[in-house]
Amino acid sequence: MFTSNQKKGLLAAGGSQGRLAVFSVSDGDAAASSSEASASKTPLLSWTLDSSWISQVIFLSNQFQEHRTLLLSSSNDGRVVLWDINKQRVRSGTRGLSPLTREEIPVVVCETSTLHTSGIFGMHETGGKIASSSEGGVAISIIKETGIVMERSITGHHTGVIRSVRFREQNILADCGVDTVIGILDLRASDPCSLKIQTMHKTGISMIEWSPVCVDTSLVLSASNDPQLYLHDIRYPAKAMLQFQGHVHPRRVKCYSIYRPAFVAGGDSVTTGGALKKLHVGYDPNILLWNNFIPKNGGVWAGSRGITKLHALWHERGSA
C-alpha cells in the first residue's frame, strides 16, 4: 500500500515483513524520461515496524503542526502507529553499531493495538478520525494528544473479514468484505449501517474507492478477485451502474492477487492493474495511485514488488 503527501511532495509505501519507506517526489519526475522514471530511487527513510505486513500507510489529512510530517500505518498484528518522519531515533539494539549499520527510524508519536482482536486489513483517515477494519467489525478512533482513542465499534453488518474501508467525508464511509457486500455507514446514526449493497462480485471484495467530490459523491468503485470492476451509485443500490472489464485475459475467471484500481483525471476515468501483461514495468502492479503533484502533468504510481511512475498522455480532460 502507498499514499502521497502533495504539499510536501512525498510518497510513502508499506509492504511485507513490516517494511515502510518514504520517497521524495520532485517536479523533475514529470520531465523524466521513461528510462529515468523506471530507475531505482533511494528512499529518504526506510525502516521496519516488525515482521507483520503493512495493510495501509497514510499521511494525515491534517498535519496539525507545520514542523511535523505525520504518517499513519496499520498492520496485520492489529497495530496502528502514528509516526513523525521529521524526527528520527536510533533503534534500540543498534545504538552501539557503526553509523553505516545502525538503524534510524521515525519517532512514534502514539500507537495502539487495542482497536481489534485480530489483524487490521483496511484503514483510512480524515480530519484526525480513523476508520480501521478487521474480522467482522470497523473501529472508529480519534487522534488526541493522549493517543489514539476508539470512539465506537461497528459490528454485525458483515459476515467475515472487512477488507477495506474508506471515508467519503467525516461521517460517511463505505466498507466491504469477503461476504461480497458493500456497507454504507453514517456515523451520526445510532445504527450506522444505513445501506447494504449486495454486489455482483463472485469473490470477496478486496478494495473500495469513492469517486472524487468534483464528479459525484454517490459513486463507489469496487474490486475483488473477479476479472470485473463494478461502479455503484448508492442512490440506486439494486444494480451496479457500470461493469468494467478487459484488464484481465478473457479466459481468466479469477485474478491471482488482490489489486486496487483508482479514479484518475479528476474522476473522469478509472485505471486498474489486474493482469495487464506487466504494464511494461517488470511486474504485475496491484496497487495504483493517481497523483496531482504537478496539476497539468498528473500521473499514476503503480506498485507491487516495486514502484513505478507512469505519465498520463491526456490531450484534454478525460481523454487520452
Q: 268 in a domain, yes or no?
A: no
98 and 179 fall within a common domain? no
Q: Do residues 158 and 181 touch, judged by C-beta distance below 8 A? A: yes
Which of 190, 214, 245 lies at the terminal end of a domain, its last residue?
A: 245
At residue 312, the pLDDT reads: 55
Residues 6+ apart with CB under 8 A from 106: 45, 47, 71, 83, 84, 85, 86, 87, 88, 89
Q: 178 in a domain, yes or no?
A: yes
71 and 186 fall within a common domain? no
Q: Do residues 206 and 187 touch, judged by C-beta distance below 8 A? A: no
Q: Do residues 255 and 228 touch, judged by C-beta distance below 8 A? A: no
160 and 195 fall within a common domain? yes
Q: 87 in a domain, yes or no?
A: yes
90 and 128 fall within a common domain? no
Q: How far apart are CA 174 and CA 209, in angstroms?
A: 8
Give Cα 149 distance to the centre of its chain: 22
Which of 109, 131, 152 lies at the terminal end of a domain, its last residue?
A: 109
At residue 294, the pLDDT reads: 43
119 and 40 fall within a common domain? no
Q: How far apart are CA 8 and CA 131, in angstroms?
A: 24
Burial class (CB in 10 A: 0-12, 13-18, 19+), 268: middle
86 and 24 fall within a common domain? yes
Q: 5 in a domain, yes or no?
A: yes
125 and 220 fall within a common domain? yes
134 and 29 fall within a common domain? no
126 and 240 fall within a common domain? yes
Q: How many CB atoms lie within 10 A of CB 94?
A: 13
At residue 276, the pLDDT reads: 43
136 and 71 fall within a common domain? no
**Domain count across the chain:** 2
Which of 91, 109, 127 lies at the terminal end of a domain, its last residue?
A: 109
Q: Do residues 222 and 237 touch, judged by C-beta distance below 8 A? A: no
Q: In which region does residue 7 sit, left (phi positive, over 0), alpha (psi from -120 to 50) or beta (all else)? A: alpha
At residue 295, the pLDDT reads: 44
Q: 304 in a domain, yes or no?
A: no
Give the pLDDT of the chain (320 residues) as one tens digit per residue: 556 676 678 888 888 889 999 988 765 544 443 444 444 578 889 999 887 899 999 999 887 777 889 999 999 999 999 999 999 887 665 555 555 556 788 999 999 999 999 999 999 999 999 999 999 799 999 999 889 999 999 999 999 999 999 999 999 999 999 999 999 999 999 999 989 999 999 999 999 999 987 678 899 999 998 888 999 999 999 999 999 887 776 676 777 677 778 887 777 778 776 544 444 445 455 555 555 544 444 566 555 556 666 555 444 444 43
42 and 142 fall within a common domain? no
At residue 119, the pLDDT reads: 94
Q: 175 in a domain, yes or no?
A: yes
Cα dihedral 114, 119, 121, 123 in deg (nearest 10) = 20
Q: 100 in a domain, yes or no?
A: yes
At residue 55, the pLDDT reads: 92
At residue 135, the pLDDT reads: 92
176 and 198 fall within a common domain? yes
Q: Quote the domain boundaries for residue 98.
A: 1-77+79-109
Q: 48 in a domain, yes or no?
A: yes
CATH number at residue 154: 2.130.10.10
